Amino acid sequence: MKNPVVYWELASHDAKKTTEFLGKVFGWAPEYDAKSTIYEYPAGDSRQAFAGGGVFTLRRAKLPFLTIYIKVQDIEAKAKLVEKHGGFIVEAPFEISPGTKICLFNEPSGVTLAMLEKTS
């Protein structure tokens, strides 16, 4: 693929709170770079599993946005963790095709993310 995605950024109102939330829900442990003041998440093994992305025209949303899809094992359990740690479920887990569920949620500062579970 030409020009693959190799990095992502999430702009938050409170980066420390956001990284704490992501750690509690997904077990992610960032490396803080004091010089840039960025919490870095190295790709590690995930670089082998990145499946690509897509571009679409806005429908219900009024503003452009970026959503990162996070692969999970038990989407219902993760949705409960999102709420437990101060997040908000935008769209509860639902099947988009046989064997594939998604769930959209806001982390505590309001940034929208999504989870994806493939069971087949």
| Domain boundaries along the sequence of the chain | 15-118
Q: For domain 15-118, say whether CATH 3.40.50.300 is its number.
A: no
Using the predicted structure, report yes or no on whether residue 23 has a pLDDT greater than 70: yes
Neighbours of 41 (CB within 10 A): 16
Rounded CA gap, 46 and 30, in Å? 14
Q: Do the Cβ atoms of 24 and 81 come closer than 8 Å?
A: yes
Torsion of CA 92, 98, 100, 104, to 10 degrees: -30
Helices (H), 1-120: 15-26, 75-84
pLDDT above 70 (res 8): yes
Task: Give the model confidence (pLDDT) of 45-86 as tens digits.
Answer: 555 555 566 666 677 777 777 888 898 999 999 999 999 999
pLDDT of residue 107: 94
Nearest CA-CA partner of 69 in 56, 83, 85, 50? 50
